[in-house]
């Protein structure tokens, strides 16, 4: 009987651990990359960016994988922190050739605030990078969440 219980317990432990293990393996890799900065995910779906302060335009960059159906897009993100950062969209053609970029300055606050950067693509087959980076070379920390690329 004890053996049966042990086996059942083992099975229970296995099943109780398995989803967690799979969840860890299936967890998508964070597609946000630090540029002169570290990007860390917080449990609530937000991320913290700590810049090194070595040069200007440190922060993070993200490349959406989805293809575009419209040339009218917007980069929307919710931010909080201190200091001034730049929201940027950079467009390249399918062969990686730079086409254009657009930047706006955002003064961060301690409250979560949503910001939108509208952009007109040169072509729906273009690639874009969106990023939030420091305006100046400064060691700073800011947080973001709910990053969206909206197509009209």
Q: Which residues make up the interface to another protein (CB under 8 A)?
A: 29, 31, 33-36, 57, 61, 63, 65, 90, 92, 94-99, 101, 125, 127, 129, 131
Sequential DSSP letters for 2-47:
HHHHHHHHHHHHHHHHHHHHHHHHHSPPP-EEEESEEEEE-TTS-E
Shortest gap between Cβ of 129 and another protein (angstroms)?
6
Nearer to another protein, 14 or 33 (CB): 33
Shortest gap between Cβ of 147 and another protein (angstroms)?
14
Shortest gap between Cβ of 136 and another protein (angstroms)?
17
Beta sheet of 84-92, edge-to-edge order: 32-35, 59-62, 127-134, 84-92
The Cα 97–Cα 110 span in angstroms is 38
Nearer to another protein, 11 or 47 (CB): 47
Shortest gap between Cβ of 36 and another protein (angstroms)?
8
Nearer to another protein, 57 or 77 (CB): 57
């Amino acid at each position: 009987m004890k053996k049966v219980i042990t086996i059942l317990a083992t099975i229970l432990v296995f099943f109780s651990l398995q989803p967690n293990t799979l969840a860890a393996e299936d967890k998508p890799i964070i597609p946000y990359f630090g540029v002169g900065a570290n990007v860390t995910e917080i449990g609530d779906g937000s991320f913290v960016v700590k810049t090194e302060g070595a040069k200007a335009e440190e922060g993070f960059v993200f490349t959406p994988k989805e293809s575009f159906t419209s040339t009218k897009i917007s980069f929307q993100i919710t931010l909080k922190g201190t200091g001034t950062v730049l929201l940027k969209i950079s467009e390249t053609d399918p062969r990686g050739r730079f086409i254009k970029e657009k930047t706006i300055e955002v003064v961060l606050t301690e409250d979560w605030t949503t910001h939108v950067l509208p952009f007109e693509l040169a072509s729906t087959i273009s690639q874009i990078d969106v990023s939030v980076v420091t305006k100046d070379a400064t060691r700073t920390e800011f947080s973001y969440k709910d990053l969206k690329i909206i197509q009209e």
